Amino acid sequence: MEHMLPNLPYVFDALEPFIDARTMEIHHGKHHQAYVANLNAALKDQPSLSAMSVDKLLRNLNEVPESIRTAVRNHGGGHLNHSFFWPTLKKDVAAKGPAIDAIVKKFGSFEAFREQFSTTAVKLFGSGWAWLVVDNGELALVAAPNQDNPIMTGKIPVLGIDVWEHAYYLLYQNRRPDYVSAFFNVINWEKINEHYLAAVS
Ligand code: MN
């Protein structure tokens, strides 16, 4: 089974002016596509592993031969992270619902959450993702390097922001804090509610 690049669930300029169309086009069509291609290349002589979902591969990296383990971790992680990411982006979605209720309960207020999530994203050194996860039934913040996904350490992702420079450099250059701030205008809270409810059920 070849892994496939999922379609973007909207047009490239759907997130303007917060995330620009050119970034979306390159991020999805070049970067995500490359993770998919490199994952397929790593698995080409591994029929049993090729039949596994990328989620399952990353939960069971120890079963992946050492010679391709890093490639599966990086490119499989890249494929999983970006497949998760695209549907969580949408403009003009009200921040309400069970995930918001749980966020307020955990962090004290939505603003306090926003501040802590943003700090996690801004301070992450190099390339990686900041995640809101469910860990043992509780919300928590995680900074993960490279393309590591929280499922690799038994946590369930609810919301994630890609802070690789390829996610923001064309529009924001070195201004990662501005990108992180803008990101809060394109969070699809309906999708985040779905992830949260699935994680705690
Ligand atoms: Mn990316």
Prediction pTM value: 0.97
* pLDDT for 192: 98
* pLDDT for 1: 73
Compute, in angstroms, the gap from residue 146 CA to the centroid of ligand 1: 10
Cα–Cα distances (Å) from 164 to 18, 159, 168, 174, in that order, read 16, 16, 8, 11
Compute, in angstroms, the gap from residue 5 CA to the centroid of ligand 1: 13
Compute, in angstroms, the gap from residue 124 CA to the centroid of ligand 1: 15
Compute, in angstroms, the gap from residue 32 CA to the centroid of ligand 1: 7
| Residue 133 tokens, joined | 């996860």
Closest to 58 measured CA to CA, from 45, 48, 46, 72? 72
Distance CA 36, CA 47 (A): 16
**Topology of the domain comprising 20-88:** Helix Hairpins (1.10.287)
Compute, in angstroms, the gap from residue 108 CA to the centroid of ligand 1: 30
110-125 pLDDT per residue, tens:
999 999 999 999 999 9
The reply to whether domains 20-88 and 98-200 share a CATH topology is no
Distance CA 188, CA 177 (A): 20
Compute, in angstroms, the gap from residue 176 CA to the centroid of ligand 1: 14
Strands (E), the chain: 128-135, 138-145, 156-162
In degrees and rounded to multiples of 5, residue 176 shows phi and psi of: -55, -40
For the chain, the domains span 20-88, 98-200
User: Could you say which residues of the chain have pLDDT below 70?
Assistant: none
Instruction: Name the one residue in this structure whose structure tokens are 């549907």.
Output: 87
Compute, in angstroms, the gap from residue 105 CA to the centroid of ligand 1: 30
98-200 domain in CATH 3.55.40.20?
Answer: yes
